[in-house]
């Protein structure tokens, strides 16, 4: 199996070169994510990787999106970054009742990059390996029609699929009201099957118990059955990476 992976990785690196790009700066674990996302098809994986490299260079030229670039989105304090789950994944929580459709779509897209990058980086142990994942929790408690943002949801999941392949371990949707069901059906049409299979809608006490057991009480805030406090994304300070 390992030999087969090495062959596929070598083929993928060659395909990346043929497309006029380079994978030299990236380790095998990063490339494996693209291979998995494209069913181990080396040419499709290489194409996806090259598109990702170009996208990062265009949208994240400094390597990160700073807090100062997304002030309006951070001010709402709708996103929280908790400590690791039982299996060692950082836990990202979004409280949808504090979200409103973006008046500044470009800033919202930057914010999606900012929150995903910061969540993933919070699991680095001195440096990035390339196979880090995250758990997402979307809480729909107390939302009203003015909070509904199908375009924002689609943007978030499409960014995950196209530019953060195999970064999502699991996404839990909590407290979905009846009027959101049709919205979710619409949004789901834009989400790939592999991503949909990682999304769990928690609807009853048994599923909530499983949710708490999987994520862990140490990282879940009290309002979700855990023992932790909510930590706003902007309050999390990440340690510097090793040079």
* CA–CA dist 93, 14 (Å, integer): 39
- Amino acid 126: pLDDT: 82
- Amino acid 68: pLDDT: 95
* CA–CA dist 26, 185 (Å, integer): 37
User: At 37, is the secondary structure helix, strand, or coil?
Assistant: helix
Strands (E), the chain: 79-84, 90-95, 134-139, 168-174, 199-201
- Amino acid 125: pLDDT: 83
**pLDDT block averages, 10 residues each, the chain of length 243:** 84 97 96 96 98 96 94 96 95 97 95 97 90 97 96 97 97 97 97 96 96 95 94 91 65
Question: DSSP readout, 142-168?
Answer: T--GGG--HHHHHHHHHHHHHHSTT-E
- Amino acid 108: pLDDT: 96
- Amino acid 2: pLDDT: 66
Instruction: Give 140's contacts (C-beta < 8 A, 6+ positions apart).
Output: 96, 97, 173, 174, 175, 176, 177, 180
- Amino acid 3: pLDDT: 76
Q: Are 226 and 219 in contact (CB under 8 A)?
A: yes
pLDDT in tens, 55-69: 999 999 999 999 999
pLDDT in tens, 99-149: 999 999 999 999 999 999 999 999 998 889 999 999 999 999 999 999 999
* CA–CA dist 21, 34 (Å, integer): 15
């Amino acid at each position: 199996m390992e030999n087969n992976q090495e062959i596929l990785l070598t083929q993928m690196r060659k395909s990346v070169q043929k497309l006029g790009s380079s994978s030299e700066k990236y380790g095998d674990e990063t490339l494996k994510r693209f291979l998995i996302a494209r069913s181990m098809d080396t040419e499709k994986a290489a194409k996806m990787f090259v598109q990702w490299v170009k996208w990062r260079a265009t949208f994240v030229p400094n390597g990160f999106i700073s807090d100062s670039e997304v002030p309006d989105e951070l001010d709402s304090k709708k996103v929280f970054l908790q400590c690791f789950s039982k299996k060692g994944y950082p836990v990202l929580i979004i409280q949808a009742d504090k979200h409103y459709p973006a008046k500044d779509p470009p800033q919202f897209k930057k914010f999606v990059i900012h929150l995903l990058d910061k969540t993933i980086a919070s699991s680095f142990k001195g440096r990035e390996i390339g196979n880090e994942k995250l758990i997402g929790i979307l809480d729909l408690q107390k939302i009203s029609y003015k909070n509904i943002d199908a375009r924002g949801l689609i943007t978030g999941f499409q960014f995950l699929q196209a530019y953060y392949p195999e970064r999502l371990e699991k996404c839990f949707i909590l407290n979905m009201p009846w009027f959101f069901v049709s919205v979710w059906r619409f949004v789901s049409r834009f989400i790939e099957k592999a991503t949909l299979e990682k999304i769990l809608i928690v609807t009853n006490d048994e599923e909530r118990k499983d949710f708490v057991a999987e994520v862990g009480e140490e990282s879940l805030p009290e309002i979700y059955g855990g023992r932790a406090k909510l930590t706003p994304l902007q309050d999390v300070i990440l340690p510097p990476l090793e040079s």
